[in-house]
Amino acid sequence: MKTVQNVAAGAALTAALAGGGMYLAMAAPDGAATTSTTQSASQQKGSHQANGITEQLLTGDTAARVEAAAKAAHPGASVVRVETDAEGAAYEAHIRKADGTSATVKLDVSFNITGTEAGKRR
């Protein structure tokens, strides 16, 4: 009798965990149209270090301006994440271009694009 109760309790726990995971997955979709304003856990990388500088994810108006500049320069692209840059620029936007390739768009403090690095991923 105890075995049947243990199996039933285990099945109920498994079902509850699976249901909770599905709820979380629906609450934060991870698709091509996702931008940094609704980042999934996989997009919230940041913390990359180079030259003694740690990159930080951008939020608010700064994030919106970096996104807008990157999208204007690369029509049809989706923004994966935006962050400060540890390698010389003020900001960077990691994008997926319309053709499916990835790139990193570099910007200065005035949100002017200073360059684009093709295929840079980490």
Global pTM value: 0.60
100-103 contact pairs (CB < 8 A, 24+): 103/74, 103/77
Q: Residue 82: helix, strand or coil by DSSP?
A: strand
How far the first Cα of the chain sits from its last, in Å, is: 53
Summarize pLDDT for 8-49 with one digit per residue, the tens.
555 554 555 454 544 444 443 333 333 444 444 334 455 666
Q: Looking at residue 42, what is its pLDDT?
A: 38
Q: Looking at residue 53, what is its pLDDT?
A: 77
